[in-house]
Structure 1
Amino acid sequence: MALRLLFATLLNLPLLMCEGKTVHGFFSSHTARQSGGQQVAKFVFHGVNALLSCQIGNKTVAAEKDAKLYLFHEQDWLKLQEKTEEVNCLLKFSEAQLTISLDDVESNQTISQFLHPQTWYIVYADKYTCPEDEQQRRSSEGFAAKAIKFKLMLLNPDAANNPLDHFSAEESGLHDFYFLLVLAYFIAACIYAQPIWRSIKKGGPMHAVLKVLSIGLLLQAGAAFTNYMHLSRYSVDGIGAPLLGSLAELCDMVTQIQMLYMLLSLCMGWTLSRMGRTQSRLLQWDSTPTSTAIAVVAVITQGILLLWEQFEGTDHHSYHAHHSMPALLLIVLRVCLALFLASSLYQIITMERSAFKRDFYISFAKGCILWFLCHPVLVAASMVFAEYQREKIIVIAVILCQSISMVILYRLFISRSLYWEVSSLSSVTLPLTVSSGYRSRYSS
């Protein structure tokens, strides 16, 4: 997304869609004619005083072109786009719910109140968009080539009911969520960073696991912070910092890839050790060429799907979306990985005679399954909510579930009652200890 915006700026191209809700660009008669209307933005209005404000740079050209903005409900616009060849061009624009004439330097339109938030498409068209015949189209080529510079602001009412909120209804609340998430990471870092760092420095059988978990947690915290910074600017100007949003997506992608590699390598390493009847160091990360190859193939597959989804997505947070083919394939991949890991761990658990080690593997299975299944399950569960709420619910819930999964894995590998018994490092003092009542189950 950031690269698309950069190319549009450098090449001075008409901007058709923008992630922010303050949109700068050019109204183009040529683009409008080619596409049956220049799609400018999409916004979910809500409340009583929602506002659309449009400023143009050349009032004379706009008046000559009879330039207008047409507002369509999402479902109506998409249906008309699907039937472009069947629906008369002029008839299509007559079905718009609202029409705004751009006959002044600044045009303001208050959006009427409605029961539920609705998604609106804002489309530009002028008298050259629907030429009656080929001769009329050719005769108007010269004047139609003049583009109109514009600035479009889409605003919802804030807490005081003033039209100053740049956030669409589907994005409201995300800024506060990321603030609380960053605050939680900061508090957790103040409490646990030093003990965890001491544990990593001392080494041990699960030294590599602790390093990967810590790097993943740092990347998650970095993604939360950059998203918060992006949305903080977004709340002021409606544009934000798209490069920071892209950086957050990159951090999220790297976290997904390294966590997949770690979880799959551990599980397959233990499974293959069981098959080879190697009883020593079963709970360590002791990868074999086979387990590494399986993990690498899964990582490459997921990486390709993540990159494909990013190129197809138009908004940040699209990693958690489910509207495109790569997103659906990612969901299928995660379900398959969860089933595969559950099957492998089930084989280990049923063969394990030690109650302590069985409990270790069961806890590990819970962390793995939560990591991989939270996204597919939440996508399915979100269907009971209104469409404008789904993306927000998925984003928030996936981040929380994956954070909980990391906490489970941290407690498993670093708590005194489990890590101490597995590694036989009785002299190591570690944080996140489990209660003495929990330990007593294995001392009896």
Structure 2
Amino acid sequence: MSCSLAPFLGAFLLISETLGKTVTGVFKSEVARERGGQYITKFMFGADSGLLVCRLDNAALAVEQEARLVLYPEMQPDLDTLSCSEKLARAQFTIYLKHDEHNQTIPRQSSPTLWHVLYADRYTCQESATLPSHPDVHFTILTFNPDSAGNPLDHFSSEEVGLHSFYFLLLLAYFVACCIYVQPLFQALKKGGPMHTVLRVLTVALGLQGLSALCNYIHLSRYSRDGVGFPLMGSLAELWDMIAQVSMLYTLLSLCMGWTLSRRKPQSRPLQWEQTPTSTALAVGAVLTQGILLLWEQISEADSEHHSFHAQRSLPGVLLLLLKVLLALVLASILYQIISTERSTLKRDFYLSFTKGCFLWLLCHPALVFMSSVFNEHQKEKVVTIGVILCQSISVVILYQLFLSRSLYWEVSSLSSVSLPLTMSQTNRRGRY
């Protein structure tokens, strides 16, 4: 398992993260001419008045080049069909760069709107003009939304508002749960037993999700002050979440198919997955496919100003959703056969609870992406991100209830030592739990 993840870890750390809402760079006349305007940044301003600040290191040169920023509330598809001059004339705002610092107020709007900022100068639409050799103009652009007091000091765009507070509450919940359950969990892991390997993988996955939330919180805390944050922390947050997703998929497949994670030979059916080439290829193939799609999604969106692990707006993101639905159907078919042939009510309750945990983990993401289509654009990402984290946390809790306490799993495994992948009979020699 760890070997299969190794190729992805190094490559992922090379991926750039969010550029933030404080953008620094260089205005380039040749790029502006080639593309009909040099694309600078985008920002979703809220319904209240926002603010865009542009600072230059050489205002005199900017005046000589007739430098300006053009702002579009939405990049309409028909802009690409217009001529260069017509495209620039369609801008909602034009900021002529004549001073060291410019402040542009974005007026109130009926709803949050995504604004795009482009750079243009006197040479942008003059294809026959020779570009002079002159030093580049360095710039810093800051974008703000109103804070709780109504002052334009908030670096968070409308689709990000609330995520910082959510991660704080999530970390607080993790801390409280850790204080309450860390001792019994540690004792269960120390003793070993029929559910030792399952608990270990669940704990690792939950710990990785906690690390992801902590990294996101640190990144957003700094981001709220300077609009840049800690890009490495943002990348690490997505990396930990990726590993948690892959490890949980491996666990669910192994348990559902009856393939013990400790690689012991299953005793008999119905929950049995013999280590045949076919079954091994299915498990490893599913895990590798998910890992490749997760990495591909991050690479495909590495150059965007903002991307979320849960956004799924790219081709690999869509394929990842389809993979989760396909795996859920496979598990549903297997679990249905087991439940329909099981006569014991106690065992059926165990299988049903396990099914709920599996489906909640696998299907919450596709379902929330589908449901988010009814929300406004600035709400979609928050609905999916927060919803997936909460649903997967509930899924882990359900699985913990099955495998940690001396309740359903213990009763079922003690009744039948041949119907579960990890059973009491395997640990009779180790003592009583």
Q: Place the TM-score, normalised by the shorter chain, in its bin.
A: 0.7 to 0.9
Cα deviation for residue 324 of structure 1 reads: 0.7
Q: Which residue of 2 aligns with 1:227?
A: 216
The residue correspondences of 1:320-339 to structure 2 (distance < 5 A) are 320-339=310-329
Cα deviation for residue 74 of structure 1 reads: 2.0
1:43 counterpart = 2:34: no
- 1:413 equivalent among 397, 403, 419: 403
Deviation track 1:200-248 (CA, whole Å, cap 9, x = no partner) reads 1111122111100000000000000000000000001000001000000
Q: Do the aligned residues in 2 keep the contact of 1:265 with 1:292 (CA within 8 Å)?
A: no
* Structure of higher RCO (CA pairs closer than 8 Å, 6+ residues apart): 2
Instruction: Please list every run of 5 or more consecutive structure 1 residues that lacks an aligned counterpart in the other structure.
Output: 7-17, 430-444
Q: Which residue of 2 aligns with 1:256?
A: 245
Q: Provide the secondary structure at the position in 1 that maps to 2:237.
A: helix
Cα deviation for residue 316 of structure 1 reads: 5.5
Cα deviation for residue 267 of structure 1 reads: 1.3
Deviation track 1:140-171 (CA, whole Å, cap 9, x = no partner) reads 2424xx32111100000001100000000000
Cα deviation for residue 79 of structure 1 reads: 3.7
| Counterparts in 2 of 1:188 and 1:287: CA distance versus 1, 3 Å | farther
The residue correspondences of 1:386-397 to structure 2 (distance < 5 A) are 386-397=376-387
- 2:87 equivalent among 79, 89, 92: 92
Amino acid at match of 2:362: F
| Counterparts in 2 of 1:69 and 1:115: CA distance versus 1, 3 Å | same
1:103 counterpart = 2:98: yes
Q: Which residue of 2 aligns with 1:208?
A: 197
| Counterparts in 2 of 1:196 and 1:181: CA distance versus 1, 3 Å | same
| Counterparts in 2 of 1:317 and 1:252: CA distance versus 1, 3 Å | farther
Amino acid at match of 2:258: G
Deviation track 1:254-312 (CA, whole Å, cap 9, x = no partner) reads 001111111112212269xxxx99547x6799866543321110011111110110011
1:142 counterpart = 2:130: no
1:352 counterpart = 2:342: yes
Greater shift in the superposed pair: 416-425 or 322-331:
416-425
The residue correspondences of 1:276-355 to structure 2 (distance < 5 A) are 278-279=267-268, 290-313=278-301, 314=304, 318-355=308-345
Q: Do the aligned residues in 2 keep the contact of 1:269 with 1:288 (CA within 8 Å)?
A: no
Q: Do the aligned residues in 1 keep the contact of 2:13 with 2:236 (CA within 8 Å)?
A: no
Amino acid at match of 1:235: S
In structure 1, how many angstroms separate the alpha carbons of the residues matched to 2:266 and 2:99? 81
Deviation track 1:365-423 (CA, whole Å, cap 9, x = no partner) reads 11001101001100110011001110111000000000000000110111211232224
Amino acid at match of 1:37: G
Amino acid at match of 2:297: E
Instruction: Please list every run of 5 or more consecutive structure 2 residues that lacks an aligned counterpart in the other structure.
Output: 1-11, 414-422
| Counterparts in 2 of 1:115 and 1:251: CA distance versus 1, 3 Å | same
Cα deviation for residue 428 of structure 1 reads: 6.2
Q: Provide the secondary structure at the position in 1 that maps to 2:349.
A: helix
| Counterparts in 2 of 1:4 and 1:362: CA distance versus 1, 3 Å | closer
1:379 counterpart = 2:369: yes
Q: Provide the secondary structure at the position in 2 that maps to 1:179.
A: helix
RMSD of aligned alpha carbons? 2.3
| Counterparts in 2 of 1:353 and 1:166: CA distance versus 1, 3 Å | same
Q: Do the aligned residues in 2 keep the contact of 1:269 with 1:287 (CA within 8 Å)?
A: no
Q: Provide the secondary structure at the position in 2 that maps to 1:318.
A: coil
Q: Do the aligned residues in 2 keep the contact of 1:37 with 1:124 (CA within 8 Å)?
A: yes
Deviation track 1:72-119 (CA, whole Å, cap 9, x = no partner) reads 02242x441xx3xx3110110000011111110000011000110000
Cα deviation for residue 173 of structure 1 reads: 0.1
The residue correspondences of 1:236-255 to structure 2 (distance < 5 A) are 236-255=225-244
Amino acid at match of 1:311: I
The residue correspondences of 1:163-182 to structure 2 (distance < 5 A) are 163-182=152-171
In structure 2, how many angstroms separate the alpha carbons of the residues matched to 1:321 and 1:382? 10
Q: Do the aligned residues in 2 keep the contact of 1:266 with 1:287 (CA within 8 Å)?
A: no
In structure 1, how many angstroms separate the alpha carbons of the residues matched to 2:335 and 2:16? 46
Q: Do the aligned residues in 1 keep the contact of 2:15 with 2:235 (CA within 8 Å)?
A: no
What TM-score results when the alignment is normalised by the length of structure 2? 0.88
In structure 2, how many angstroms separate the alpha carbons of the residues matched to 1:298 and 1:57? 52
1:190 counterpart = 2:190: no
Q: Provide the secondary structure at the position in 1 that maps to 2:148.
A: coil
Q: Do the aligned residues in 1 keep the contact of 2:50 with 2:146 (CA within 8 Å)?
A: yes
Q: Which residue of 2 aligns with 1:125?
A: 120
Identity %: 55
Cα deviation for residue 130 of structure 1 reads: 1.1
Q: Which residue of 2 aligns with 1:218?
A: 207
What TM-score results when the alignment is normalised by the length of structure 1? 0.86
Q: Which residue of 2 aligns with 1:10?
A: none
Amino acid at match of 1:326: P
Deviation track 1:318-340 (CA, whole Å, cap 9, x = no partner) reads 22112110011011111101111
In structure 2, how many angstroms separate the alpha carbons of the residues matched to 1:254 and 1:190? 25
1:31 counterpart = 2:31: yes
Q: Provide the secondary structure at the position in 1 that maps to 2:138.
A: strand
In structure 2, how many angstroms separate the alpha carbons of the residues matched to 1:153 and 1:162? 14
Q: Do the aligned residues in 2 keep the contact of 1:420 with 1:428 (CA within 8 Å)?
A: no
